[in-house]
Amino acid sequence: MKLLLFAFCVAFAFGCPSAQTPVWQPSSGHTQVPIWPGPAPDAARVAGPEVATTRVKDHLVAGRPWVYIGKVSRPTMTVYPPTGKNTGAAVVVFPGGGYWILAIDLEGTEVCDWLTSKGITCVLSKYRVPGEGLFPRSGPYPKSPMALEDAQRTVGLVRFHAAEWHIDPHKIGVLGFSAGGHLVAAISTHFEKRLYQSLDAADKESCRPDFAVALYPGHMLQNTSKPFELNPYVPVTREAPPTFIVQAEDDPVDPVQNSLVYYTALKKAKVPVEMHLYAQGGHAFGLRRTKLPITAWPHLVETWLGTIAMILK
């Protein structure tokens, strides 16, 4: 996914109307926890402090503002316990933003509100993204290892704390949007070995997700001139987790071929996979309700989670 095609990133890069606050904080009663006990591996300098920006006048989603954060150099996770009857399942959520920003409410906290209401523990990942300015090491693995390192560490931490957080260690999944959808595919195919040197007991835990949900994933194509060749750095094998994919055919940012090639590779490897394509929906719709049928996707995910025995039907 190219930055210039990503309308949200273009908007903030060129200074369209917005409201900035210095640091994003989760809602009351929830606390961000650093995922690394010291400096993060492969740490790279980011130009300035972390900034949260609210889109208040342009690029609204379902007629509402949304918040993104950039210049994230200190990754965190925020645990949202279930508000409904605890199913024992947990989902690590990766917001999208082109590996440049994180759409922290649209594709983050709003997702956690939905999951927790269904009895699922939600762990919101604030993984490393560089934010504004030229940053040659931004992007997906292997161009940059940072986000995937953060994802591996976070899933391992959730499994390590499973008993404490009342989670079944065999029901830990991942869900992501756009670049976060690519991160879902990356950790679904890069779990046998950490990209970083093991630090503690959490890194001894498996970072393989038990299930995966990828929404309008990007970076899945090897070459845009060859629309049906999977990115070789997403090495699908039979060990990949059961996967659910959603995308709109009119997505102007990440062409639908991104989902098609991943679905085909999973199917070829005999990995259980379910995909839903819709004629309309565009990009970065999150969970916000509109008149379009694609906004029913959360209910489809709930049904699927029952069919793969992650939650009760």
* 64 found inside a domain: yes
* 37 found inside a domain: yes
pTM: 0.92
35-40 contact pairs (CB < 8 A, 24+): 35/75, 35/76, 35/77, 35/150, 35/153, 35/154, 35/157, 36/75, 36/153, 36/199, 37/199, 37/200, 40/73, 40/74, 40/75, 40/128, 40/146, 40/149, 40/150
* 214 found inside a domain: yes
Model pLDDT for residues 263-279, shown as the tens digit of each residue = 999 999 999 999 999 99
Give me the domain span that covers residue 41. Answer: 3-307
Please state the rounded mean pLDDT for residues 270-291: 97
pLDDT at residue 10, as a whole number: 34
* 107 found inside a domain: yes
User: Which domain CATH number covers 94?
Assistant: 3.40.50.1820
Model pLDDT for residues 236-252, shown as the tens digit of each residue = 999 999 999 999 999 99
Q: What is the tally of structural domains in the chain? A: 1
pLDDT at residue 5, as a whole number: 38
Residue 4: pLDDT over 50: no
* 291 found inside a domain: yes
* 312 found inside a domain: no
Residue 18: pLDDT over 80: no
Q: Which residue has the tokens 């060990």?
A: 239
pLDDT at residue 77, as a whole number: 98
Structure-derived torsion over alpha carbons of residues 237, 243, 244, 250, reported in degrees to the nearest 10: -20
pLDDT at residue 84, as a whole number: 80
* 313 found inside a domain: no
Exposure string of 278-297, with b = 16+ CB inside 10 Å and e = fewer, is beebbbbbbbeeeeeebbeb
Kind plus residue range of the DSSP H or E element containing 307:
helix 297-307
* 14 found inside a domain: yes
Query: How distant, in Å, are the alpha carbons of 30, 66, 185, 191, 205 from that of 20?
Result: 21, 12, 32, 36, 38
